[in-house]
């Protein structure tokens, strides 16, 4: 069975719909698109699939209702627009899906809900309970309460987090482009559609520009979210939302859009570390330590391999692990706070007690609390 055909076995499906896909040129919600989506979801449910939708459109509809000019928009006005638009988005989903006797449920999330593991597990359990009751959860960011520090920023990332946390088989990004191209197809007529991306492939040369004025994502953000979800074992497809029956075709194994082949599924705790947390600090390791950590069944991170500490963190926080060139290759939960790591960096584990004057773990990050991540360029 090839990689496309294996999508026919997918049971749990997450579909992400961006503002530019769900709105029509006149600026309202595209009723035809929503009807087509509901009809396809009905077919998936008949096949025994479970479906989660991540939708945008709230801010856009709210802006229209309040007649807000984007240029003059403050953060609180954007949040007010989301509050006005969100019930309207749900109203349209209830109508379109109700025509097929499908019940939908609204879930609004902030990054903060996902950062703390206990809250994250509550969200995951709620989604599980909805799915086992044949309800289609319709998820959006809770824009009206997300302060700047706790925002996902765009729904691409949110979709990746939801897909990984629910251990979805496939995440489908419905985009206004046919998939990922070798270069930006809007400016380069020779750009070619990339059909398949293998785990860990370097895509830095194909990341297109950011989307249009209504969209916060853009192709570069989609690629980052897609690679993270694929690292966690979720197959990801980016495809053209305007193409008829596109979701059904993806799940029939047709060669539509770009498929990110999933890596090995990771344990639930590791998925959370890779997707749901925004680490505030990092350690830089030498080339030898990097190679040892990257090996299959590799080592734990010992103080000896650490050459620098960045940012601030407490024991128990998730931190980035950077190679000597400053790019992230792993994340993990640290046993030591930043000032302690600073003091023991370069030392042998047997010296930890003498340096810190208390007995501690021999490793800074234990192997079981570490996850490899796809390189995403130097971290600031
Ligand atoms: N959450 C925003 C909305 O509903 C959209 C964010 C995005 O476009 O990624 O309008």
pLDDT 10s digits, 355-375: 988 878 899 999 888 988 865
* Ligand 1 atom with the shortest distance to the CA of 154: 9
- Please compute the mean of the pLDDT values over residues 17-29 and round it to a whole number: 88
Of 62, 65, 216, best ligand 1 pocket probe by most atoms within 8 Å of the beta carbon: 216
Using pLDDT thresholds of 50, 70 and 90, give the confidence band for residue 69. confident
Mean pLDDT of the chain: 89
Q: Residue 148 has what pLDDT?
A: 66
Cβ-contact 98, 129 below 8 angstroms: no
Q: 176 near 222, Cβ under 8 Å?
A: no
- Structural domains in the chain, CATH included, are 5-271 (3.40.1160.10), 279-372 (2.30.130.10)
Atom of ligand 1 nearest to the CA of 18: 8
CA–CA dist 160, 227 (Å, integer): 9
CA of 219 to the centre of ligand 1 (A): 15
Confidence at residue 379, expressed as pLDDT on a 0 to 100 scale: 39
Say how far apart CA 169 and CA 73 lie, in whole Å: 39
* pLDDT, tens digit, 9 for 90 and up, residues 27-62: 789 999 999 999 999 999 999 999 999 999 999 999
Dist. CA 211–CA 216, nearest whole Å: 7
Cβ(142) to ligand 1 under 6 A? no
Measured from the CB, is residue 64 less than 6 Å from ligand 1?
Answer: no
Distances (CA, A) of 182 to 20, 93, 187, 303: 22, 35, 12, 41
CA distance 157 to 140: 11
Assess whether the C-beta atom of 137 lies below 6 angstroms from ligand 1.
no
Residue 209 reports pLDDT greater than 70: no
Q: Is the pLDDT of residue 207 over 70?
A: no
Average pLDDT, stretch 273-289? 89
Question: Mapping DSSP to helix (H, G, I), strand (E, B) and coil, where does residue 70 land?
Answer: helix
Q: Return the closest-CA partner of residue 306 out of 259, 281, 264, 341.
A: 341
Predicted local confidence at residue 66, as pLDDT = 92
| Cβ atoms 237, 259 nearer than 8 A | yes
Residue nearest to ligand 1 atom 7, measured at CA: 154
- 150: confidence class by pLDDT, cuts 50, 70, 90: low
Q: How far apart are CA 91 and CA 359, in angstroms?
A: 58
Cβ–Cβ contacts within 10 Å for residue 174, how many?
26
pTM of the model: 0.83
Q: Whose CA is nearest to atom 6 of ligand 1?
A: 154
pLDDT of residue 210: 45
Q: Looking at residue 29, what is its pLDDT?
A: 93
* 347 CA distance to ligand 1 middle (Å): 47
- 89 Cα nearest atom in ligand 1: 4
CB 204 within 8 A of CB 377: yes
CA of 349 to the centre of ligand 1 (A): 47
Please state, in angstroms and rounded to a whole number, the distance separating the CA atoms of residues 267 and 330. Answer: 15
SS3 category, 95: helix
Over residues 212-240, mean pLDDT: 82
Query: Which of 155, 160, 211, 215 for mutating ligand 1's site (highest number of atoms within 8 Å of CB)?
Result: 155
Q: Which of 354, 345, 359, 353 is nearest to 301 (CA)?
A: 345
pLDDT tens digits for range 94-142 = 999 999 999 999 999 988 888 777 888 889 999 999 999 999 999 999 9
| pLDDT: which is higher, 268 or 182 | 182
Using the atom order of ligand 1, give the atom closest to the CA of residue 215: 8
Q: Which helix (H) or strand (E) holds 18?
A: none
């Amino acid at each position: 069975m090839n990689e496309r055909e294996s999508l026919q076995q997918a049971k749990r499906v997450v579909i992400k719909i961006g503002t530019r896909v769900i709105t029509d040129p006149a600026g309202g919600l595209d009723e035809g698109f929503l009807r087509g989506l509901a009809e396809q979801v009905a077919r998936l449910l008949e096949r025994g699939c479970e479906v989660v939708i991540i939708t945008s459109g709230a801010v856009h509809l709210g802006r229209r209702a309040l007649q807000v000019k984007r240029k003059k928009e403050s953060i609180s006005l954007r949040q007010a627009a989301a509050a006005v638009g969100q019930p309207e988005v749900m109203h349209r989903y209830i109508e379109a899906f109700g025509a097929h006797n499908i019940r939908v449920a609204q879930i609004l999330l902030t990054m903060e809900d996902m950062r703390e593991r206990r809250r994250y597990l509550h969200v995951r359990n709620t989604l599980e309970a909805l799915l086992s009751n044949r309800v289609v959860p319709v998820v959006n960011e809770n824009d009206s309460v997300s302060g700047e520090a706790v925002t996902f920023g765009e729904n691409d990332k949110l979709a990746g987090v939801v897909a990984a946390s629910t251990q979805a088989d496939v995440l489908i990004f419905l985009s206004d482009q046919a998939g990922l191209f070798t270069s930006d197809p809007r400016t380069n007529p020779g750009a070619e559609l990339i059909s398949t991306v293998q785990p860990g492939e370097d895509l830095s040369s194909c990341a297109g520009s950011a989307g249009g004025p209504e969209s916060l994502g853009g192709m570069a953000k989609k690629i980052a979210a897609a690679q993270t979800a694929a690292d966690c074992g979720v197959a990801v497809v980016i495809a053209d939302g305007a193409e008829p029956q596109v979701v059904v075709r993806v799940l029939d194994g047709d060669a539509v859009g770009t498929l990110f082949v999933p890596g090995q599924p990771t344990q639930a705790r590791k998925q959370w570390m890779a997707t749901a947390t925004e680490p505030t600090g990092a350690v830089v390791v030498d080339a030898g330590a990097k190679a040892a950590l990257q090996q299959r069944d590799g080592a734990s991170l010992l103080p000896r391999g650490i050459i620098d500490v960045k940012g601030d963190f407490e024991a128990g926080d998730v931190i980035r692990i950077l190679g000597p060139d400053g790019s992230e290759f792993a994340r993990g939960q640290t046993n030591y706070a930043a000032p302690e790591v600073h003091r023991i960096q370069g030392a042998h584990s047997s010296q930890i007690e003498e340096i810190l004057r208390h007995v501690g773990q021999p490793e800074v990050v234990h192997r079981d609390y570490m996850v490899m991540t796809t390189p995403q360029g130097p971290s600031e």
